[in-house]
Structure 1
Amino acid sequence: MRLRHRDPRGHHRARARPVLITASPPIRPTLGECHVRLDDLRHLSGPNSFSTRPVTVARLELEELTGRKTTEYPGFAGRLTAALPGLAEHHCAAGRPGGFLEAMARGTYFGHVTEHVALELSSLVGRDVYLGRTMWAGADGRYDVMTECPQDEPAQSSVPAELLELAITTVEHILLQRIPDLPLELARIARVVERERLGVSTAALAGAARRRGIPVRRVGRLSMLRLGYGRCRRLVCAALTEQTSVIGVDIAADKMLAKQLLTDAGIPVPDGVVAWSAADAAGALGRLGGPVVIKPLHGSHGANVTVGVTTAAAAAAAYAQAAAGGEGAIVEKFVPGTDYRVLVVDGQVVAAAELRPASVTGDGASDITQLVDVVNADPRRGEGHSRELTKIKLDERALAHLEAQGLGPASVPARGRLVTLRRNANLSTGGTSRDVTDLVHEDVADVCRRAAAVVGLDVCGIDVRLADIAAPMRCGGAGHGGAEPGAVIEINACPGLRMHLSPAEGAPRDVAGAVIDSLYPPGAPSRVPVVAVTGTNGKTTTVRMIGHILSKAGMRVGMSTTDGVYSGGRLVYDADASGPRSADMVLDDTSIDAAVLETARGGIIRGGLGYDQADVAVVTNITADHLGADGVEDLDELVEVKALVAEEVREGGTVVLNADDPVVAALADRPRVRRHASVIRYFSLVNGNPVIERHRQAGGLAYELRNGELVEFDADRERALLSVVEVPGAFGGLAPHVIANALAAVAACRGLGVSAKDIRRALGTFTPGESNPGRGHVYLAGGGPVIVDYGHNAVALDATGRMISDVWGGEPVAAITLPGDRRDDLVARSAEAVAAWFGRVVVYEDADKRGRRPGEMTGLITAAMRRARPGIGLATAEGPQAALRIAVTMAAGHPVLFVYEKLAMARQALEALNARPWPAGAVPPAPTDAVPPAPPIETPQSWMTGSPLRGMKAKG
């Protein structure tokens, strides 16, 4: 029974928005009037706001179906269910089979219908997924449809979009009272799904790793996996691992070389020679005596192997087939007995299987072709190695084998008669297996262990042919009492695991687990410590502080930030790197001991998290920024996005929260945070913060600014970590936002076990210029300080303005740009925050307008500033270099705030003015009225409001 629209793992995490649609009078659709448009689809690979598993989110426009319900179209639900009977089992919100049918009977919108149809079509092409949700997307007829994806489906797969398009077409056909022609399209998509699916062996390895808590990431569309993080990362590709010897693989591929090495080690192998022509093969048959086996010198999966050759003519034909690739062929003595495959992993026999050739059993009525069709209908059988078993093909080899038995494809075997279709017993030609692991005699096991050691393979499949694997094995010479003759037929690198995972008979064996345990022995780590930092302001500085502390504590740190990816303190990828792709880049760096990841809103929404779980999650603050982007319209929705970072911590992890921000402090009460995090660590700048007080009374950990010192409170104990005067860039406590970032960083590092001594030493060397470029970095230019900062929202700009006023006083000037992808009201608030502290402002636009028209942002910013501060002195400039030059000239020694968009361009602007870093520890007194007024500014841009207002006090 298939249960749709129900997530068996319980991941119902999204908060569906209310459907606010006013229906128009119902109409009947006519041909061409029904159309739903798929506008966009994004893939969220990591944990996301809907599930811990991958999902896709599609934007649908219902167009003519806006506001229409299923009840407005008589017979629609019945026709849809007739076309897709599985819909009757969908749970929907009712939580029971039939829930979706009940929803259609009550009347539901067609975005919701499309979601369920897509889920059902998904199941029909072999993608068993359950979770779906349809959400209003801000306008009538606009919906976001989320559907779950298989765990390891490639992120680049076209299948989700194709299924949604097919779902849309199906709904439209049903509305127009047409019968949708689904089988052809479903068969085509099913082939893509099968092609993109992980192979059986690789899928088993992924499952075994996840059961052990090891992170798993697929590499593109390959059957290759990246396991673990950082220095613990390992690669596997089917049964090849990064520990597999290349020489061992080459030996296994060269069958004569392998035979020679095994012979030298005293391991029994069949006598054999290399033939370079058909005449050589016939001659070898004569010398060895029949029957013989003729096989490729280099080959696999039993391809082009002929067993039981007894005549020169047959030897010539077998040679032609085996040497078709242009190389010679091996002619070796046929060893009687049963075919077995023994799997050796890391020097231990972990499984053994008896291999049986492809066969059918007669029923007295069906011919062999029909019997093969019945066997191939087993859902475990697929093409190649995609399923547990391979479909049987009645090819030339099979027909020749039947002919040797006096049979053909139209023959009707008697009831109960077993008819083999191959001489060899490979699974790749349709064979089956029987588990015999518990029967392996110690003599046989010893031979297999030694054979694997001879070729030097960590994962090795040993093909042996014996009368009975449970009996002693004769190893050279006359043997010993009761020993049976036998031989090692082949050594296989990258052996298939499916014969052991899903034998036709006997117990399945966790051979994938054995491979994973060889990479990660019990007790060995598979992860490095991961710290994820989110919030509205202070993320980058906090990430850099944490990275600096961990580095000084002796770790090699990988970091992702808004200005790039760092490895061991070096910039290795220059970009806005605060999303999942950048996190993945850090975690794949095998040189790092710890990862510190800036985790921004946009990346979470558009791609999910770039990691599965963090050891420490930090939320600095959450304020109104980026509202109106990516479907996030208000603060509550923004909280839902950023809360994911606090929720996705490992069992027993640490969550660090800002107690001074009510919405952040409240994250501690979310069920997933309470369930996962064993430790909540609050930080606060406010003495007597009630959240901190309650937390301390409950025995919790807290970090506060108390009497000019950063203090750790653990229940009734307190530890002074360092004085605010020791924190570079904090200006003796006059930059409280820097202190807040430091407290968050201290809490995170203490959560990882870093000592107070290491923290004190590291924070004391965290200088803005070297460790935190572009964040509160002070330069000397034009005789006064230039404070370079990245703040782009009202809260950040207000904090920076207050700091400049408190540290330098005077009549500061600002040169600012604001990003164009913010909502107009948020731009206005940011502009007002600047106007509150700066009586003179130079406005410039960044080269990237982010969708705005040239001059549009300048108009918004200056208009808001005039409203907030009538008479403010305003100028405009083309680009950051001109803006800074104007501002420094205007300031005449007073402080200048320089807000930039791209740090490289900001540095160029500073170099053009011959700016140099502010002398360490130097905080001059504020300029006095004795400073001469600013000279006229030579710029083609005129003042937009009268002269600068000297002497105006900043608000606050």
Structure 2
Amino acid sequence: MRIESVRRLRGPNRYLPRPVVTVRLELDGLTGDETTDHDGFTEALLALLPGLTAHHCASDRPGGFVKRLHGGTYFGHVAEHVALELSAMIGRDVTFGRTSLAGPAGRYDVVMECPRDEPLDSTVPRSLIELAVEIVGALVDGREPVWADALAAIRAAHESERPGPSTEAIAQAARRRDIPVERVGRLGLLRLGYGRHRRLAWAAMTDRTPAVGTDIVADKQLTREFLAAAGIPVPQGRVAQTVQDAMRLLAEMGAPLVVKPRRGRQGHHVYLDLSTPRDITEAFAEASRDGDVLVERQFEGADYRVLMIEGELVAAAERRPAHVTGDGRHDITALVAQVNTDPRRGEHHDRALTRLRLDAGALRLLASQGKTPASVPGEGEVVWLCANANLSTGGTSRDVTDRVHPDIVELCRRTVAAVGMDVAGIDLRLPDISEPLEPTVAARPATAGVIEVNAAPGLRMHLSPSEGRSRRVGSAIVEAMFPAGTPSRIPLVSVTGTNGKTTTTRLVGHLLGVEGTRVGMTTSDGVYIAGRLVHRADATGPASADMILGDPTVDVAVLETARGGIVRRGLGYEWSDVGVITNIEADHLGQDGVSTIGELIDVKSLVAERVRDGGALVLNADDPNTVSVADQPGVRAAYKEQIWFGTDDRNPVIAAHLRAGGRAFLAEDGRLVEASGPRREALMYLADIPGSFDGKAPHALANALAAVAAARALGTPAEAIVDRLRSFDPWTGNPGRGMLWNLDGVDVLVDYAHNAPGLAAMAGTVGEIWDGAVAAVTFPGDRRDDLLEASARAVADGFARVVVYEDVDKRGRRAGETSAIIHDAITAHRPDTECRTAIGLREALPVALGMARPGEVVLLTYEKLAPVVTLLEALGATPVTAPRLFAPGGVLGEPLGLSENLTEAIGRG
């Protein structure tokens, strides 16, 4: 058994609305074998991984997988469950898995859920399935699997890249509010919301946490000065440049003292209860490793941390330093080991608590208590391992939020106001947080009060206190960033289909780009923001969608969503407001595990399923495959409006929809019509639609209908849509689709048509407008032979003179192979076709022009547009920017009666 490929799907996908990993497995020698064919395998597997007994495996109760093992199941399925069990063993909380045949016998696709915020480049999923394959293979061979070290390494990798408690709490709180969340790489940085509503949170620091305030609190001496000037009680203290300075401060202020780095963090090199010159000398030597040293008089009382958000107290905790409690039997080393078995304790900040350490500082503190790691404390005796109470040094916390005295709340409110922080953790040392403090007195130093202010304060002591109730501090941060009623999303239109999706996307983007509205758009030629190309690429997948949704200058998103992006990476968004499906045709079959039109419909249906409740789904009533999408279970059950469009006013789907009071957009009596139940309103003449060749190009009309329907679904006024549509310039707004040139009296029609339905549509348009035509065609070499042959037949049906050429990128085929398939299919289908083969675009176009007569047209299909434009310009061709065949008359805007055809169709219903 071996792994062929591993692919991560980051967003909603064919399997789950959450991230998954798909693994292509080849069973090789285990092809056709079942678990019952290998004596002792099931027993050995369950003995090694007893947690498998709890797996349901399509059953509604534990034990379902064990039943499958005993009844006989294939080994790809076994590898899936082993990988899921290993995932659970390292604390990676996922449950979904699926294994399915992927072509020939022995080839399987294993799909497993991934944690939402696991980094996209994480090696953990692959490592888990690799270890699962190794374990299964060893047991089949009768070998003892060697796997403990490998699993430990995977666990370490998972722990190092998982979000910390603060980040996780904020992400979960945002998702509960239905706010989009995206973790940035492996950081604790979160992007919340889309477009102009986007906000950023880095742990407990927001994008509105002031840099000045952050710099102030990072400097403990400056913080002391700011707070003292505001009348807030802070310890006496100064910066000590040398150990002699520190000694003078000991003599001046008296013991006990605190020595700490001026810019320290997380309790590192903080030393308390210092009273002798030796204490000061040792502490200064350690603290000075981090730069300047601050020496302060130590406050009396207990340590508290108060979390303030937007001037309000959200949570408070009493903190106790790292310690162990004796039992009279175990030494301190053993007691530390016992405490560290608590699953809440981790190495750093990835768990609710931090593991205890017997480091140099702990050994010094033990010595001050007259103990060593080998000492055995008495029953109930507390032994301190750290002087400061930070959780990052192993401390614990007790929630005291409900005990905070109003005077202390006001003190904390004044503290964050003084340093200018929106989110901050205030460290206090007080006799009791439930009692008020005496006002500061100029002649007498304070003995209790504020000792530090922290930017990006850790939340874990409030999320999982050792004692007391948990506080929803993640929710408090999200609520401060997105108060109730504040939007977090921008309008989002997702366009998919086989043909016309790029043009439709461009049209929708243009229609929504009314003055002052910045549209972000992804298409097959790049990412556009406010009409400007900002990233040139095939931008139809989730990475490109991320550029738009993460851009805080974008008001509306229009995303071309291609099959390849869905299958290989998942959707780049959670929900859309409008989903558009232009049509679904047999193209790309045989790629990425999609072999049939039914499977392709299933892929495209994801766009329909992910339209939010209250949104709209725009469907092509003229395409049977698209009509079938409306009956998909995930689409039919959703609460969304269905809007149909079509160029056939006899269409029974539209007629039934209108009878039920639905909305549709029609090409009727030469006009673009919005129909709603029995009501009709003509918006414009079809002949006025740019790029439609006076309404003679049905595919262009369909694209316009889809775009208008999407824009209207978002509430754009009809008048604004008509004005915007009239102003659309196909040459600049839709390059490479229906571009018309003229060279010495011969027209050249440049279009991206590259499959049988697209070519048939172009042939029909050409036949409506020109008396004679030549086709110069190229086709992507990565299509199946039968699809290439279908495209060739479509060309032969529409053109008696054809030039076939290959593009530069052969897409895995041999030079001349694709051309030969096309040529042979054309001549076999219509032997009287004059079909020539050329080497490349530069030879093909002149040959085609030589075959055409003045007044005729050459249809030129292409793979890359830039070389086509360069060649046409070099040959002296001139653009025909506004082809016009006839001028319509009449007045639009008045209510319409039903056309005879539509009246007849409705009547038949």
Query: Match of 1:436?
Result: 400
Deviations 1:770-797 (A, max 9, x none): 2111111212222122111001110000
Q: Tell me, yes or no, if the aligned pair for 1:653 and 1:676 is still in contact at 8 Å.
A: no
Query: Match of 2:805?
Result: 844
1:484 offset after TM fit, Å?
9.6
Report the Cα distance in structure 1 between the residues aligned to 2:231 and 2:255, rounded to whole angstroms: 24
Query: Match of 1:350?
Result: 314
Question: Are 2:118 and 1:153 aligned?
Answer: yes
Selected match of 1:865 from 822, 826, 831: 826
Percent of aligned positions that are identical:
53
Report the Cα distance in structure 1 between the residues aligned to 2:801 and 2:326, rounded to whole angstroms: 95
1:885 offset after TM fit, Å?
2.3
Report the Cα distance in structure 2 between the residues aligned to 1:719 and 1:881, rounded to whole angstroms: 48
Letter in 2 for 1:387: R
Report the Cα distance in structure 2 between the residues aligned to 1:439 and 1:700, rounded to whole angstroms: 59
1:150 aligned counterpart, secondary structure:
coil
Query: Match of 2:747?
Result: 785
Which aligned pairs between 1:575-654 and structure 2 lie closer than 5 A? 575-654=537-616
Deviations 1:301-346 (A, max 9, x none): 1111110111122111111111013x22111111101111111112
1:485 offset after TM fit, Å?
5.2
Alpha carbons of structure 1 residues 249 and 478: separation in structure 2 relative to 1, 3 Å = closer
Selected match of 1:420 from 375, 381, 384: 384
Deviations 1:390-449 (A, max 9, x none): 011111222222222222222222222333322211101111111111111222112212
Report the Cα distance in structure 2 between the residues aligned to 1:693 and 1:574, rounded to whole angstroms: 42
1:805 offset after TM fit, Å?
0.9
Report the Cα distance in structure 2 between the residues aligned to 1:155 and 1:412, rounded to whole angstroms: 48
Which aligned pairs between 1:541-552 and structure 2 lie closer than 5 A? 541-552=503-514
Selected match of 1:455 from 416, 419, 423: 419
1:676 aligned counterpart, secondary structure:
coil
Q: Tell me, yes or no, if the aligned pair for 1:83 and 1:179 is still in contact at 8 Å.
A: no
Question: Are 2:474 and 1:512 aligned?
Answer: yes
Report the Cα distance in structure 2 between the residues aligned to 1:348 and 1:788, rounded to whole angstroms: 64
Query: Match of 1:262?
Result: 227
Report the Cα distance in structure 2 between the residues aligned to 1:144 and 1:37, rounded to whole angstroms: 12
Question: Are 2:371 and 1:407 aligned?
Answer: yes
Question: Are 2:213 and 1:248 aligned?
Answer: yes
Question: Are 2:672 and 1:710 aligned?
Answer: yes
1:541 offset after TM fit, Å?
0.5
Query: Match of 1:568?
Result: 530
Selected match of 1:885 from 846, 853, 867: 846
Deviations 1:218-245 (A, max 9, x none): 1112221111111111222211221121
1:324 aligned counterpart, secondary structure:
helix
Which aligned pairs between 1:764-779 and structure 2 lie closer than 5 A? 764-779=726-741
Letter in 2 for 1:130: T
Letter in 1 for 2:246: A
1:899 offset after TM fit, Å?
0.5
Report the Cα distance in structure 1 between the residues aligned to 2:380 and 2:530, rounded to whole angstroms: 69
Which aligned pairs between 1:283-432 and structure 2 lie closer than 5 A? 283-325=248-290, 327-432=291-396
Query: Match of 1:820?
Result: 781
1:459 offset after TM fit, Å?
1.1
Query: Match of 2:25?
Result: 60
Q: Tell me, yes or no, if the aligned pair for 1:780 and 1:917 is still in contact at 8 Å.
A: yes
Report the Cα distance in structure 1 between the residues aligned to 2:335 and 2:276, rounded to whole angstroms: 32
Letter in 2 for 1:354: E
Report the Cα distance in structure 2 between the residues aligned to 1:763 and 1:812, rounded to whole angstroms: 29
Q: Give the stretch that moved more between structures: 256-265 or 189-198.
A: 256-265
Report the Cα distance in structure 2 between the residues aligned to 1:533 and 1:677, rounded to whole angstroms: 19
Report the Cα distance in structure 1 between the residues aligned to 2:866 and 2:198, rounded to whole angstroms: 33
Query: Match of 1:226?
Result: 191
Q: Tell me, yes or no, if the aligned pair for 1:472 and 1:484 is still in contact at 8 Å.
A: no
Report the Cα distance in structure 2 between the residues aligned to 1:642 and 1:96, rounded to whole angstroms: 33
Report the Cα distance in structure 1 between the residues aligned to 2:515 and 2:721, rounded to whole angstroms: 8
Indicate the RMSD between aligned Cα atoms, in angstroms.
Answer: 1.7
**5+ residue gaps in structure 2?**
888-909
Deviations 1:492-531 (A, max 9, x none): 1111011111111111111111111222121111111111
Report the Cα distance in structure 2 between the residues aligned to 1:492 and 1:362, rounded to whole angstroms: 34
Normalising by the residue count of structure 2, what TM-score does the alignment of the two structures yield?
0.95
Deviations 1:126-154 (A, max 9, x none): 21211111111101111111111111111
Query: Match of 2:624?
Result: 662
Q: Tell me, yes or no, if the aligned pair for 1:154 and 1:220 is still in contact at 8 Å.
A: yes
1:190 aligned counterpart, secondary structure:
helix
1:882 aligned counterpart, secondary structure:
helix
Letter in 1 for 2:464: S
Letter in 1 for 2:785: D
Report the Cα distance in structure 1 between the residues aligned to 2:877 and 2:305, rounded to whole angstroms: 73
1:589 offset after TM fit, Å?
1.6
Letter in 2 for 1:319: F
1:575 aligned counterpart, secondary structure:
coil
Report the Cα distance in structure 2 between the residues aligned to 1:159 and 1:73, rounded to whole angstroms: 30
Query: Match of 2:182?
Result: 217
Selected match of 2:756 from 794, 797, 812: 794
**5+ residue gaps in structure 1?**
1-35, 926-956
Letter in 1 for 2:817: E
Letter in 2 for 1:852: R
Report the Cα distance in structure 1 between the residues aligned to 2:801 and 2:622, rounded to whole angstroms: 32
Q: Give the stretch that moved more between structures: 63-72 or 177-186.
A: 177-186
Report the Cα distance in structure 2 between the residues aligned to 1:271 and 1:484, rounded to whole angstroms: 8
Question: Are 2:410 and 1:446 aligned?
Answer: yes
Query: Match of 2:242?
Result: 277
Report the Cα distance in structure 2 between the residues aligned to 1:484 and 1:317, rounded to whole angstroms: 27
Report the Cα distance in structure 1 between the residues aligned to 2:835 and 2:793, rounded to whole angstroms: 13
1:51 offset after TM fit, Å?
0.4
Q: Tell me, yes or no, if the aligned pair for 1:559 and 1:567 is still in contact at 8 Å.
A: yes
1:729 offset after TM fit, Å?
1.5
1:875 offset after TM fit, Å?
2.2
Report the Cα distance in structure 2 between the residues aligned to 1:112 and 1:799, rounded to whole angstroms: 45
2:548 aligned counterpart, secondary structure:
helix
- Which is bigger in relative contact order (C-alpha 8 A, separation at least 6)? 2
1:670 offset after TM fit, Å?
2.5
Q: Give the stretch that moved more between structures: 112-121 or 883-892.
A: 883-892
Q: Tell me, yes or no, if the aligned pair for 1:535 and 1:642 is still in contact at 8 Å.
A: yes
Query: Match of 1:686?
Result: 648
1:105 aligned counterpart, secondary structure:
helix
Report the Cα distance in structure 2 between the residues aligned to 1:901 and 1:100, rounded to whole angstroms: 49
1:628 offset after TM fit, Å?
0.7
1:878 offset after TM fit, Å?
2.7
1:554 offset after TM fit, Å?
4.0
1:831 aligned counterpart, secondary structure:
helix
Q: Tell me, yes or no, if the aligned pair for 1:811 and 1:839 is still in contact at 8 Å.
A: no
Q: Tell me, yes or no, if the aligned pair for 2:311 and 2:417 is still in contact at 8 Å.
A: yes
Question: Are 2:49 and 1:84 aligned?
Answer: yes
Query: Match of 1:947?
Result: none
Question: Are 2:169 and 1:208 aligned?
Answer: no
Question: Are 2:795 and 1:831 aligned?
Answer: no
Deviations 1:795-815 (A, max 9, x none): 00000110011012x220111
Q: Give the stretch that moved more between structures: 226-235 or 190-199.
A: 226-235
Deviations 1:813-849 (A, max 9, x none): 1111100011001001111111111111111111111
Which aligned pairs between 1:901-916 and structure 2 lie closer than 5 A? 901-916=863-878
1:107 offset after TM fit, Å?
1.0
Report the Cα distance in structure 2 between the residues aligned to 1:644 and 1:711, rounded to whole angstroms: 29
Selected match of 1:137 from 102, 108, 119: 102
1:924 offset after TM fit, Å?
9.4
Deviations 1:638-663 (A, max 9, x none): 01111001001122211111112222
Report the Cα distance in structure 1 between the residues aligned to 2:48 and 2:429, rounded to whole angstroms: 53
